[in-house]
Amino acid sequence: MKTITITFILFATLLGSCNSDKTKDNTKTVANSFVEMNSDSLVSCSPRVLKRNTKTGLISLRESQVAELSKNAKQLDNNLPIIGVLMYDDVLTTELTAPMDVFTKPTENGEKLFNVITIAESYDFIVSEEGLKMFPDYTLENAPNLDILIVPSAYDMSLQVKNKELVNFIIAQNNNTEYTVSNCAGATLIGESGVANGRKIVTWIGGGKDLQKNYPDLKVQDDESVSYIEDGKFLSSNGNLASYISSLELLEKLSSKAHRKYVESLIYLDRLQKWNN
């Protein structure tokens, strides 16, 4: 009987502690369409709070968790260049994975060449166009100065173009970058920022006319015939699998032709090129 009483007291203490944590912690919502996921108070002791997005199934984070994530951001090697890849909801998955695939590959001797990080507006889950759920390494607020900035796209860039914090981030980072890269409709963010005015740029196949109309100071190339273009520090491609072109071209600039060939062998590029032969 004594054992049962002690067990009950411990359970009641745990239950009260969880309820207390739930009351004290304010949550940072990802969208307005959050609903209660579970009324069981014990579940509130989970690292994720009791709210989820009804559309995407995402769970928001407590403010304390966001602070902890910022405090323990991905560690960087100060001796290596920093490549930052922007991410936002509905981003095209390939335009994130292509540069990460290319730049995270080590040398033949196993040497790491770059810091590769993802950056989003805040510490929230990002859902790609294809439904992949991802989480950023850094936010616009705590991201380090970048040597390379890569701007991917979504099929609809209207929200990104209207996001002043995102546009200002590109402007600010462009002061640091050795290269600024856009893939597909990421060119619209470059256009909105004005950092590449007077420079050649290419966007997704079929998007060039609108890009030129909306940003007349850009020298928009014929996307029907141009897959990749560079003009000074600005590199751009049609996006999707063509994002590998911009990544590999930049890799060669930052390392060597020999290392590029080695990376191409690791990703079986020759198999892709010859798959129908």
**Is 166 in the same domain as 204?**
yes
**Is 130 in the same domain as 28?**
no
**Is 162 in the same domain as 198?**
yes
pLDDT tens per residue across span 78-100: 999 999 999 998 999 999 999 99
Of 2-16, 67-81, 196-210, where does mean pLDDT reach its minimum?
Answer: 2-16
- pLDDT in the model for residue 56: 56
Q: What's the token pair of residue 131?
A: 């439904």
Percent of the chain clearing pLDDT 90 (strictly above) = 66
CATH of the domain at 92: 3.40.50.880
pLDDT tens per residue across span 251-262: 999 999 999 999
User: How far apart are alpha carbons 41 and 151 in whole angstroms?
Assistant: 42
Q: Is residue 1 part of a domain?
A: no
Domain boundary among 55, 70, 85: 70
**Is 96 in the same domain as 125?**
yes
**Is 39 in the same domain as 92?**
no
Looking at the predicted structure, is the pLDDT value of residue 190 above 80?
yes
* Domain total of the chain: 2
Degrees, nearest 5: CA angle 130-132-138 = 125
Percent of the chain clearing pLDDT 70 (strictly above) = 78
pTM of structure: 0.78
pLDDT tens per residue across span 29-69: 322 332 333 333 333 232 322 333 445 556 666 778 777 77
Q: Is residue 193 part of a domain?
A: yes
**Is 59 in the same domain as 185?**
no
User: How far apart are alpha carbons 83 and 213 in whole angstroms?
Assistant: 31
User: What is the mean predicted confidence (pLDDT) over 112-124?
Assistant: 94
**Is 147 in the same domain as 220?**
yes
Question: What sign results for the dihedral spanned by CA atoms 176, 113, 140, 246?
Answer: positive
Domain that holds residue 51: 21-70
**Is 48 in the same domain as 173?**
no
- pLDDT in the model for residue 45: 30
More confident residue, 65 or 147: 147
**Is 120 in the same domain as 208?**
yes
